[in-house]
Amino acid sequence: MKINENTKYSTNSDYSFLAKLLHWSFIFLFAYGIYKQIDNINELEDIYLLKSEMLFALVFLLFLIFRFFYMTKTQKTSLPADAPKSQRLASKIVHVSMYICLAGIAGSGMMIGYFFWLGLNSGPLIELVIWIHESFVSLIYWLISIHIIAAVLHRLKGDGVWNSMVPFWKEK
């Protein structure tokens, strides 16, 4: 990470093209998942829908796992070098929590599909898994909101974090 002596902030050597592609592709993949979500669990009686939901969850989970390992093994934070430890910790907590929630959404969704396929489409077990799934979905909305608010605050602060991942409304 390069340091600009005038601002004492990192110049955020940018995330790789692949990191940016994974980030923005994942946003569209997640949005598609929200768009195609089912309204009623009984819709899973349609075996084609059940299979397509299970396949989507599997692809989503595999993509997430690949992205997690790629980002953690090859990319560094774009936070300024002089960012407070509390900010670094908060950033790490939000990012890791997002990965956990997204994996939880896909995993619990696959469990719902599996239980439904087994004929366990009612009762306390599937109700628990549905509750877990819905809880992860609610939590991810909060985490995404925090992530977006932090990104906008960094953009307004002009510390280079925004430019490291976002291809528009560039800082000068």
pLDDT at 9: 42
pLDDT at 14: 81
Residue 99, pLDDT above cutoff 50: yes
- Confidence band of 11 (pLDDT split at 50, 70, 90): very low
Q: What angle in degrees, to the nearest 10, is found between the helix axes of 47-74 and 85-117?
A: 160
> 56 in a domain, yes or no?
yes
- Confidence band of 156 (pLDDT split at 50, 70, 90): very high
Contacts of 65 (CB under 8 A, 6+ apart): 103
- Half-sphere exposure of residue 117, counting CA atoms within 13 Å on the CB side? 14
- Confidence band of 6 (pLDDT split at 50, 70, 90): very low
Residue 5, pLDDT above cutoff 70: no
Residue 7, pLDDT above cutoff 70: no
Looking at the structure of the chain, the number of domains it has is 1
> 21 in a domain, yes or no?
yes
Residue range 159-163: average pLDDT?
A: 94
Counting every residue written for the chain, the total comes to 172
d(CA 91, CA 13): 18
At residue 126, φ and ψ (nearest 5 deg) are: -70, -30
Boundaries of domain holding 114: 3-75+82-165
pLDDT at 12: 54
Residue 3, pLDDT above cutoff 60: no
- Burial of residue 155, with CB atoms counted within 10 A of its CB: 0-12 exposed, 13-18 middle, 19 or more buried: middle
> 172 in a domain, yes or no?
no
- Confidence band of 13 (pLDDT split at 50, 70, 90): low
Residue range 140-163: average pLDDT?
A: 96
> 31 in a domain, yes or no?
yes
pTM as predicted: 0.89
Residue 146, pLDDT above cutoff 60: yes
> 170 in a domain, yes or no?
no
> 101 in a domain, yes or no?
yes
pLDDT at 1: 39
> 124 in a domain, yes or no?
yes
d(CA 136, CA 99): 11
> 10 in a domain, yes or no?
yes
